[in-house]
Amino acid sequence: MLSVWGDDYSTPDGSCIRDYIYVCDLAKAHVAALERVTVKSAAMKDNMEYYNLGTGRGLSVLEVIDIFKRANKIDVPFRIADRRAGDVEQVWADPSKANRELGWSADTPIEEVMQSAWRWEKKIRGLE
């Protein structure tokens, strides 16, 4: 059973808010960054650059569970557990620099991300 760590945060549904990024979108960002270093190194300001990668919008843990359930037409049993010490209430990326300088954005719809996650999970568990 899935544990949701806290439901008493100052968020719309009480659960933490995070920026959920699809691993394939993240991989595309790394390719774009490598391209910038190898092909467009003259455009670089310094020898090192930093980019904040993400969607730029936060979703709550309970929202993500709901999206997963709807996208995959399955139930996801979960329980509300006590908060974990040190958990941040809300955090998401500001990918504007990566959007601008790398021409990259995390653009896979969250429903597709959830469907991909479930396909992968079924495959590694031998459920397909």
**Per-residue confidence at 40, pLDDT binned at 50, 70, 90?**
low
Domain 2-124 has CATH 3.90.25.10: yes
For 12-29, what is the mean pLDDT? 97
Report residue 9 as tokens: 């945060």
pLDDT of amino acid 120: 95
Measured CA to CA, the distance from residue 54 to residue 90 in angstroms comes to 14
pTM of the model: 0.87
Query: Where do the structural domains in the chain lie, given as residue ranges?
Result: 2-124
- Write down the pLDDT at residue 42: 65
Q: Please, what's the b/e burial string for 13-38 (b: 16 or more CB within 10 A of its CB; e: otherwise)? A: eebbbbbbbbeebeebbeebbeebee
pLDDT per position as a tens digit, 77-102: 999 999 999 999 999 999 999 999 99
